[in-house]
Structure 1
Amino acid sequence: MTRPRKRVHLAAHFPGVNNTTVWADPRSGSQIDFASFVHLARTAERGTFDFFFLAEGLRLRELKGRIHDLDVVGRPEALTVLSALAAVTDRLGLAGTVNATFNEPYELARRLSTLDHLSEGRAAWNVVTSSDAFTGENFRRGGYLDRADRYRRAGEFVELSRKLWDSWQPDALVADQDSGRFVRTGDVGAFRHQGEQFTVEGRFTLPRGPQRHPVIIQAGDSDEGREFAASAADVIFSRHGTLEDGRAFYADVKRRLARYGREPATLKIMPAATYALGDTEEEAAERAAEIRRLQVGPQTAIAFLEQVWGRDMSAVDPDGPLPDIEPNLADGVSQGRAAHGDRASLAAKWRTIADEKRLTVRELVIEVTGRQTFIGTPESVARQIDEHVQADAADGFILVPHLTPGGLDEFVDRVVPLLRERGVFRTEYTGGTLREHLELT
């Protein structure tokens, strides 16, 4: 029996927390002005995307003790921006990254519930964690959380948040027709929780949201992260964009769901994806190469090298060969970025690639940090996306354009109609909440 064709899910990521945005392009706009957020969100809604996604950092990144000016400086707080976007969009989901290490469940659950009410059921929370003492210096408790404890805290944080969102029973208050007032019929908002990470009790201030719980997104790729996603997440923001890696990741995470009593359809896997379009395959390939050259300029290439080598490499020629210098594994020069893991192995891998392909430093960084997931004509990109989804390499993709705020326009105008022609993408919204868009059961 032939399996029905899967529907493609799409979301839009507002770029800017890394070197994604091509600042040199004259079409590149502000990363702070509200008009930029509105433009990208409305483009995504015009394309009937599932949701709009904001990343966020809690401290300005530093390189060699100085603010790393290739990152965005001054990005507004995510949930505030999303609450404002709720007023200028109608159906688009609104997803924000909020850290579970440096926030408290009651306060954050209240803010997310507020967004869900204001947007009539379109809120989502990308749960991230941190064991970074550098980031923790911004907070009262500092870098107190051991790396091994970050998912234990996050798991209990999500569990407690759901308890708070459920603390109001659907019929806790009913309207009295004679007085016009609400009458209490049950225990309103009462909660009590005692766990390893949190001991709290009181009353939650908001009734259940339109979709009961905001959608939970998770992006961890470690074994602990995959297990956390299988137990608690609705969507995984994955980095596995190739067909082979995507299928392996997809099968691994979906297989874990059964131990938590979940069905595969209850978790959507949506890798980050970029794209480069052209009227011909050759034009698209040339455009992709040019985008990467602009994303990885000389200064960025040296910055990436320093992050892995843990040394000041400012004297290295980015257009010359990789220098014969061993990495400094004891120290690092970059703070506020996700850890590179085993830097010794990574440096050895980079050297092998550089030697085998005779690459300059800049060419090497372009090679190992390549981002264009889909390259081709609109027809071939639509086909590639569909093939990935039908092959169970993904349930859809979170698109990261290289321009702010207009980088999504071409995709919506040229690729989305072709996905609709293939019968795998909606022509209009049929539901009101984000859970309905994602077909979450």
Structure 2
Amino acid sequence: MSATENTSATKKQIHLAAHFPGVNNTTVWADPRSRSQIDFSSFEHLARTAERGKFDFFFLAEGLRLREHKGRIHDLDVVGRPESITLLNALAAVTDRLGLAATVNATFNEPYETARRFASLDHLSGGRAAWNVVTSPDAFTGENFRRGGFLDRGDRYTRASEFVATARELWDSWGPDGVPRPFAHHGQHFSIEGKFGVPRSPQGHPVVIQAGDSGEGREFAASAADVIFTRHGTLEAGRAFYADVKGRLAQYGREPDDLKIMPGVTFVLGDTAAEAQEKAAEIRHQQVSPQNAILALEQIWGRDLSAHDPDGPLPAIDPDPDSQLVQGRVKITNALEIAAKWRALSEAKGLSIRQTVIETTGRQSFIGTPDTVAAELDAFVQGGAADGFILVPHLTPGGLDDFVDQVVPRLQERGAFRTEYTGSTLRSHLGLRTPVWKG
């Protein structure tokens, strides 16, 4: 056994996933290296790069309605991205080991069809499917669906919890003998019965991912998820979140390793620390153009601020808490508090509107040389702040290339990351148990 193998046997291993960016200002659209969000080649490039780096999975976000600002499609959003599961079925044919995670909404879908689609993906990929469960609170999104309307925030996770439990009942209705058993579920949100149309898949159950930092989200993850996708900028905040969520598992009869905590993070690499910081500053400015700075301000203030100079001071007027200026995103309920913090920051540092938006909305997590970034990632995991990371590059589709070429080898040298896949399913990559069949 080599020294590296001996070290990795005793060191906590880092889990890595690749997020295909686009539904926010993370992506630097103006960069000449930025490519299509609908051509299959873009998705294939990022997925193949992630698999070359021995990542656990490839992760696709998805929304059910295009967000609007002043009645126009949101300037920063993707228009025309393919549906996630359809795309991942195609990627299953050009990858061998990489997990494939799709976002599917539990508010505006139904358990039978969702369970069928993920079981199908799990079969076609040889056991690599994952479901990122999200919910929607707004009637704006609901207008796209026959049922319409929306769920109160307190009911979203109630439905989602029953949704996931019902899907698992369907997956369990086929036994190892290949014989489908009748299912019957009668609950608060769903009343269905029959026989499920897809045999038990290679993983038993596809991996379930949940994104959310609220108390309800943490509880849902502790009770039902295999992975939680979160965001915490500091080691201390990460440790607090990690301890809180892991501490909730015992009441559901689960062990700490049954749930992997993987914050979404960005990275900027340079040959020197100074070069990396310079690149990071340039990226922040590209992510927040003068027009987008005003747009971001209007999202908080809920008012038309187009007459304001982005290089000028913040508006003196207070936000409108009842504004419908922006639709299709979570409503900001603490706009007055956010505005007060932005004003205090702007006054303390002498920042313009654009500079304030850059400083308050930037999501750059790890900045430095490949050696320092590898060391910091390792410190987060060894220090109990995360089990791994979902990387969100700022370029599509080549933004992960440098990380795989420069940071992954250093993580492997540290004994903190695999040099080869040891299993074929996503559950094996993540170190998750295969669900026991409940016949």
* Corresponding position: 1:131 with 2:134: no
Q: Is the 8 A contact 2:141 2:328 kept in 1?
A: yes
- The one of 162, 176, 186 equivalent to 2:168 is 162
Distance 1:172 1:411 in 2: 43
Structure 1 gap segments, 5+ residues each: 174-187
Corresponding letter in the other structure for 1:277: L
Q: CA deviation at 1:320?
A: 1.1
**1:208 equivalent in structure 2:** 200
Distance 2:260 2:135 in 1: 20
Correspondences of 1:348-387 after superposition (within 5 Å)? 348-387=340-379
Q: Is the 8 A contact 2:321 2:333 kept in 1?
A: no
- The one of 219, 222, 228 equivalent to 2:211 is 219
Aligned length: 426
Q: Is the 8 A contact 1:307 1:332 kept in 2?
A: no
- The one of 2, 12, 27 equivalent to 2:33 is 27
Distance 1:282 1:246 in 2: 26
Structure 2 gap segments, 5+ residues each: 1-6, 434-439
Q: Is the 8 A contact 2:176 2:200 kept in 1?
A: yes
Distance 1:29 1:172 in 2: 44
**2:261 equivalent in structure 1:** 269
Correspondences of 1:35-434 after superposition (within 5 Å)? 35-173=41-179, 188-434=180-426
TM-score (norm 1): 0.95
> Secondary structure in 2 aligned to 1:270?
strand
**2:3 equivalent in structure 1:** none
Distance 2:226 2:267 in 1: 25
Corresponding letter in the other structure for 1:439: G
**2:4 equivalent in structure 1:** none
TM-score (norm 2): 0.96
Distance 2:333 2:51 in 1: 37
Distance 1:12 1:273 in 2: 10
Distance 2:199 2:178 in 1: 9
Distance 2:363 2:144 in 1: 31
Identity of aligned residues (%): 72
Distance 2:240 2:307 in 1: 41
Q: CA deviation at 1:170?
A: 0.4
Distance 1:235 1:293 in 2: 33
Distance 2:242 2:380 in 1: 11
**Post-superposition, which runs of at least 4 consecutive aligned residues in structure 1 deviate over 4 A?**
none
The root-mean-square deviation of aligned C-alpha atoms, in Å, is 1.2
Distance 1:401 1:52 in 2: 12
Q: CA deviation at 1:36?
A: 0.2
Deviations 1:367-398 (A, max 9, x none): 11121100000000000000000011110100
Q: Which stretch of the first structure deviates more once superposed, 350-359 or 335-344?
A: 335-344
Q: Is the 8 A contact 2:137 2:330 kept in 1?
A: no
